[in-house]
Chains A and B, each alone.
Chain A
Amino acid sequence: MAYAYLFKYIIIGDTGVGKSCLLLQFTDKRFQPVHDLTIGVEFGARMITIDGKQIKLQIWDTAGQEAFRSITRSYYRGAAGALLVYDITRRDTFNHLTTWLEDARQHSNSNMVIMLIGNKSDLESRREVKKEEGEAFAREHGLVFMETFKRECLILTMRRMALRSVLSTRRQEALAPAVRVLAVQRAGAAVRCCAAHTERAKRG
């Protein structure tokens, strides 16, 4: 299927915060009640439409466990955005956010959009991290923040992310017409996207 843009997003965060669930929800509308640890990196894809343009979102779900950190790091490259997830019922996952953020900033392009997601907000009774805390953290680090547990929210979030990406891509196109990032065809779309980022990084 043809698409105008291909964006790569990466989901990061501590183990058990529900990253795989988010992905599954987003791509398959399913919910997986059992915690199947992610071993390594998995991915899913979904088409959305913005401004009548087909946009393919490639979402990479990484393993949250410390042991896999070295593997997952290599997946930051070329990502247009990251979903940094924590579990509102577990404070330690919130505490680790700084580490994750550093990791992400270090291994990705500087213009990567990062969205902070406080997950499992349906488990209000077991909440350990207040929403305000999440908001504060996001403000402090210049992230987009939201708490989710509903699929609709998630899709909305992804659209917002995608929209930002589209805009920034267009800006880049305007800045450097020589580097046509407009990836139209399936083949090599991701690669070209990456290339654009590298190009920019070099210049900057």
Chain B
Amino acid sequence: MAFLEWRRFAFFDVHKNIDNGKIAECLQDTHVTVATSGNNHVVLCDLTGWAHLISRTWEITSFKAYELIITHAQQLPHDPLLVTIGEDEAGVTPLIKVWDWSRVDRHGNPKCVKTSRAVPSHMFPTPATALAVHENKNLLAVGFQDGSVALFRGDISRQRSGKMKTLSDTGSSPITGLAFKDADKLFVVSRSSVMVCCLNSDRCTVLDSMGAVAGCSVLADRHRLTVATSEAIYCYTTEGRGPCYALEGEKLRLNWFRSYLVITTSETSTKPSNSSTTPKSHHVTILDIQNKFIVFSKTFEEIDAVLTEWGSFYILTKNKEMIYLDEKDLQSKLSLLFKKNLYDVAIRIASSQHYDAEGLTEIYKQYGDHLYSKGDFKGAIYQYVKTIGWLETSYVIRKYLEPRHLEPLIQYLEELHKKGYATEDHTTLLLTCYVKIDQHDQQGKLKLFINSKDKAIDFDVDVAIKVVRQVSVDDALSLAANHNRHDWFLKMMIEDKKEYKQALDYIAELEFDDADCYMKKYGHKLIQHEPDESTDLLKLLCTDYKPRSRPLVDESSLAGRYKEPDRSFPDDFIHMFLSNSERLITFLEHMISTDIKCSTLVYDALIEHYIHVWAKSTDIEKQTYEQKILGVLKDPQSNYDKDHTLIICQMLGFKAGILHLYEEKKLWRAQVSLHLRSGEAEKALAVCRRRGDACPRLWLDVLWAPPPPSCLPDLLQVIAAEKLMSPILVIDCLASTPTYTLGDVRKYLMDVLKSEDEVITREQELATKYASEIEKMKAHIQVIQNEPVTFQSSRCAACNRQLELPTVHFLCQHSYHQDCFQTYSESERECPACASPARRPDSLPHAAEALHSRLQQQHDPFAVVSEYFGRGLFNKVTVVTEPPSPSPPQSAPAQPAQAAAPTSILNYGPGAEAKLRLQEGQSKQLYVSTAAKQMAPKGSSVVPVPEGRMRVLEQQQYSSSLEANMTRLEPVHEIKRDKVPLRISPTPISGAISNGNPFEDTYDEAKNPFAEEEEEDTDPTNPFAENDDYDKNLNPFAS
């Protein structure tokens, strides 16, 4: 047989006599003419006009359909309708009958719903040779012996409906097969041709000029007509002939089931024995057209019918035996194939039957294993590749670890990557393989892989770089470059290649953000090795950066949109320069020279490094640097931190800077002392002269230095003129310096003595004058006491008119009209004329205001305050003003005032602040003292506190003393609003200062009458606590 070449399997099991002989019993000795099936039933028609309806349980319903014979029959697949063609009378045109076997007629037989003549009445009767019924029950075609085809349209289950017509051009050879393709096409097979008729246009097209015998054409898959000829099986679509399968042999029957083509051929017995004795035998072949297999092939005795119903095949032999062909399930099919190592077939079958992926994987795996064991490693890997995603990769990889398997392994790994199942380890392995294979035969696979821009293989670039880096840095570099892994690129360039220049060039090509980021990351190294270029790049980066390759003018700017250029902060880069001061200076100078506003840090760094360079450089250079530094320092734009700069100047001894800064901060005393320490008394004096007006202390500072004798005259003159220090002290001071000669101070002493002299004489004069006045007054008193007084003024001291009675007379010789007196006088006992100038309230200067104005005007507020102290002003606490709206005392439980008072100080208003500041001051003091210890140059015992801190200290002292005192007084004031006489001890201030609690010493807690009221202070509703704008400074001075 020509079939030999197609692979042959036995996918069907044969079960004989499945019906237990029931059919044989029913049919007895007649023969089956037609067999059809559908709607779960098989219909057999026999020679005698009987039809047998067989159910799945082999129950048979038989009825007489025709008187003579049934020639054709078709059971509709989904309806209980059976269409038959047969003869009731011999020689008469055949009759079409339609049976509805769901209904019964009077005799209990299936009901015949329609009977009609098959041949149109105008034609000669001719035997019908083919029948086709469309499953839509509206189309029916009958083919005839003479080659004509009759088409009925209309409901086939009704007697009176439908039209009939004969199709044209169907030739004249007997029709052997008819098949509807959809509702508009009809395949017509005659003995001599295959045609397709378009039912709507009634046009017949010849598809092929060879025909087939009856039964040898079938519609496969609902659209392909399959026709068997003696040498082959041809497929036709409505458009023409399609593929064909060569198959020798006389075909008897074609059936189609699912995807199988069932071919019945008559077995030509090879043995030339007498054919009358050996029964004819038929051969059944089942083809799987899709996969090109023979899935069943077996010879049976003569076959009457092949039935495809109930999900499988049934063969009815001439001997009326029903043979059941049971299809094996997929699993057993596959195991059959596996046994023969036909894995490819198994795969084809499995996938055509939509086997699940896991199952398929298993087949692929087995196939792979099989090929592997046969030594076909490449073939095996091809199968293993298909298992990707299901099969554990290590299973495969383990098999291919030997070096000779490199290529298949690579293939597998590449696939793994392509499919996205690769892990880091896989990438590593793949790259290692590449490397190995490259070592071996220089295929350059690694290069290829690296340069694959479009990433044909999906892999984790970072991992790849890591691996490649270990092998070949160059390759890793290009890999990194290809995939824009800037970080890796730079890292390798810098760490492995040490090509700093290239790294820089690379950075210069990057977009701003990247460039900025990587410069921050690697700038340190780069500056270290390529200072010039790095600095240049940094300059760019911090001013107007553009990737180097980018055209100067880009589109956006052309389009008129101005984009704020990206720029980095130079601050971020300063630390990278480390000790490379020169570079840093050029960098920072550049930054400052641009009009971009630079941060303090930039200036600080610049100045610091300037000074460092200055410190190291030779004298001539020093000059230029000094100029530069001062230039920066004096530039009003420079936004440097003065304290910081000062410290640096001090550390490195950059005097010019220190002086400038002192000047800026008005620390003249520090300036002076600096000059003095360096022995430049003249300069110190110059400072004094410049600033002495504002700060007379300067002179004294110079004096205490002590200055060289040459300066003394000037100095002493000023001190004397300004009375800066008492001459005794001056002399004391001068005396402590043994180098001064009398000549140096003679003039001063003379002047002092002279002026002292003058004062003494003046005082003495005054003393005598006062003594005489006293004498006078005493005499006057004597007169008043002992001698009568005559009031002899005739005019009223008030209205200056003639005195008239009644009058009031005072001993001071003032007389008034009584009326005038009453209007003018404030008290009965005083003479208004004498009392008023002393009593006028507005004439009194307001002490507090005076203090404030003085504090503001005077350059040495401390001196003012201490003066007030000296006058004992702070002791005199008399408060007259009443606080507004005192809240009624609350009846809160008594609490120790001792506890209450401090809390009030702590928590409320300015008291709290003072306290805080006090603490702050203390801590500052602490710091200063330690700092002082550090700062003080060894051997110098003169200056305990460095100048830089002096002012801070002064301020702090001021705040801690004055403010603290004032706030401490506040509770006292609050107490007073209840008009309870205040018994205040004479030392509350000092107590306050020393103890921090003004009441601690002076109050006996038990006797404290205000304990209750003071509770209010802790009350959050206390109006005074919140009264922030209440001028705390006014109170203590109110008179």
* Chain A interface residues toward B at CB < 8 A: 33-34, 36-37, 39-43, 63, 67-68, 70-71, 74-75, 186-191
Q: Scoring B residues 205 to 241 as 1 if CB is less than 8 Å from chain A, else 0, what string do you get?
A: 1000000000000000000000000011100000111
Contact of B244 among A36, A71, A190 (CB under 8 A): A71
Contacts of A68 in B (CB 8 A): 2, 232, 246
Known contacts: A187-B239, A190-B239, A191-B205. The answer to whether A40 contacts B244 by CB under 8 A is yes
Can you list 10 contacts pairing A with B, beta carbon distance less than 8 Å? A33-B379, A37-B5, A39-B2, A39-B245, A42-B243, A63-B246, A70-B231, A74-B241, A186-B239, A191-B240
Known contacts: A67-B2, A70-B231, A71-B232. The answer to whether A40 contacts B240 by CB under 8 A is no
Q: Scoring B residues 236 to 267 as 1 if CB is less than 8 Å from chain A, else 0, what string do you get?
A: 00011111111100000000000000000000
* Contact between chains at B244 and A41 (CB < 8 Å): yes
Contact of A39 among B6, B205, B240, B241 (CB under 8 A): B6
Contacts of B344 in A (CB 8 A): 34
Contacts of A37 in B (CB 8 A): 5-6
* Contact between chains at A67 and B246 (CB < 8 Å): yes
What is the chain A residue whose CB lies nearest that of B205? A191
Contacts of B243 in A (CB 8 A): 40-43
What is the chain A residue whose CB lies nearest that of B3? A39
Alpha-carbon gap, A3 to B699, bound state (A): 111
User: B376 to nearest A CB, angstroms?
Assistant: 10
Contacts of B5 in A (CB 8 A): 37, 39
User: A73 to nearest B CB, angstroms?
Assistant: 12
B666 interfacial by beta-carbon distance below 8 Å? no
Alpha-carbon gap, A103 to B782, bound state (A): 175
B318 interfacial by beta-carbon distance below 8 Å? no
* Contact between chains at A188 and B246 (CB < 8 Å): no
Alpha-carbon gap, A34 to B6, bound state (A): 13
B292 interfacial by beta-carbon distance below 8 Å? yes
Contacts A39-B3, A68-B232 known; list 18 others, CB within 8 Å. Answer: A34-B344, A39-B2, A39-B246, A40-B244, A40-B245, A41-B243, A41-B244, A67-B2, A67-B246, A68-B246, A70-B231, A71-B232, A74-B241, A186-B239, A190-B239, A190-B240, A191-B205, A191-B239
Q: What secondary structure prevails in chain A residues at the interface with B?
A: loop
Top 10 A-B residue pairs of the complex, sorted by shortest distance between their CB atoms: A40-B244, A37-B5, A40-B245, A40-B246, A42-B243, A41-B244, A68-B246, A71-B232, A39-B246, A41-B243
What is the chain A residue whose CB lies nearest that of B382? A33
Tell which of A34, A36, A39, A67 has the most Cβ of chain B within 10 Å.
Answer: A39
Tell which of A33, A74, A190 has the most Cβ of chain B within 10 Å.
Answer: A74
* Contact between chains at B242 and A43 (CB < 8 Å): yes
Alpha-carbon gap, A63 to B6, bound state (A): 13
User: A167 to nearest B CB, angstroms?
Assistant: 24
User: B244 to nearest A CB, angstroms?
Assistant: 4
Alpha-carbon gap, A39 to B243, bound state (A): 10
Known contacts: A37-B5, A39-B245, A40-B244. The answer to whether A71 contacts B231 by CB under 8 A is yes
Q: Please report the total number of B residues contacting A with Cβ < 8 Å.
A: 20
Contacts of B239 in A (CB 8 A): 186-191
Q: Scoring B residues 367 to 391 as 1 if CB is less than 8 Å from chain A, else 0, what string do you get?
A: 0000000000001000000000000
Alpha-carbon gap, A43 to B273, bound state (A): 43
Alpha-carbon gap, A94 to B205, bound state (A): 40
What is the chain A residue whose CB lies nearest that of B5? A37
User: B688 to nearest A CB, angstroms?
Assistant: 99
User: A29 to nearest B CB, angstroms?
Assistant: 15
Alpha-carbon gap, A36 to B231, bound state (A): 20
Contacts of A34 in B (CB 8 A): 344
Alpha-carbon gap, A187 to B184, bound state (A): 14
Alpha-carbon gap, A42 to B232, bound state (A): 13
Interface residues of B in 1-45 (CB under 8 A from A): 2-3, 5-6
Alpha-carbon gap, A73 to B205, bound state (A): 22
User: A92 to nearest B CB, angstroms?
Assistant: 19
Alpha-carbon gap, A40 to B245, bound state (A): 4
Alpha-carbon gap, A74 to B240, bound state (A): 13
Alpha-carbon gap, A68 to B5, bound state (A): 12
Alpha-carbon gap, A97 to B6, bound state (A): 26
User: A111 to nearest B CB, angstroms?
Assistant: 20
User: A1 to nearest B CB, angstroms?
Assistant: 14
* Contact between chains at A36 and B246 (CB < 8 Å): no
Contacts of B232 in A (CB 8 A): 40, 68, 71
Contacts of B292 in A (CB 8 A): 36, 39
Contacts of B233 in A (CB 8 A): 40
User: B996 to nearest A CB, angstroms?
Assistant: 96
Alpha-carbon gap, A68 to B231, bound state (A): 9
User: B185 to nearest A CB, angstroms?
Assistant: 11
* Contact between chains at B240 and A71 (CB < 8 Å): no
User: B982 to nearest A CB, angstroms?
Assistant: 110
What is the chain A residue whose CB lies nearest that of B206? A191
Contacts of B240 in A (CB 8 A): 190-191
Contacts of A70 in B (CB 8 A): 231
What is the chain A residue whose CB lies nearest that of B233? A40
Alpha-carbon gap, A34 to B345, bound state (A): 12
Known contacts: A34-B344, A39-B6. The answer to whether A71 contacts B242 by CB under 8 A is no
Alpha-carbon gap, A68 to B241, bound state (A): 17
User: A192 to nearest B CB, angstroms?
Assistant: 11
Contacts of B246 in A (CB 8 A): 39-40, 63, 67-68, 71
Contacts of B6 in A (CB 8 A): 37, 39
Contacts of A63 in B (CB 8 A): 246
Alpha-carbon gap, A83 to B232, bound state (A): 23
Alpha-carbon gap, A178 to B863, bound state (A): 127
Alpha-carbon gap, A70 to B344, bound state (A): 31
Contacts of A187 in B (CB 8 A): 239
Alpha-carbon gap, A189 to B237, bound state (A): 13
Alpha-carbon gap, A32 to B379, bound state (A): 12
User: B198 to nearest A CB, angstroms?
Assistant: 10
User: B12 to nearest A CB, angstroms?
Assistant: 21
Alpha-carbon gap, A164 to B360, bound state (A): 45
Alpha-carbon gap, A187 to B246, bound state (A): 27
Alpha-carbon gap, A191 to B237, bound state (A): 12
Contacts of A74 in B (CB 8 A): 241
Contacts of A42 in B (CB 8 A): 243
Contacts of B244 in A (CB 8 A): 40-41, 71
Alpha-carbon gap, A43 to B240, bound state (A): 13
Alpha-carbon gap, A187 to B237, bound state (A): 11
Contacts of A39 in B (CB 8 A): 2-3, 5-6, 245-247, 292
Alpha-carbon gap, A67 to B247, bound state (A): 11
Alpha-carbon gap, A75 to B244, bound state (A): 10
Interface residues of B in 179-222 (CB under 8 A from A): 205
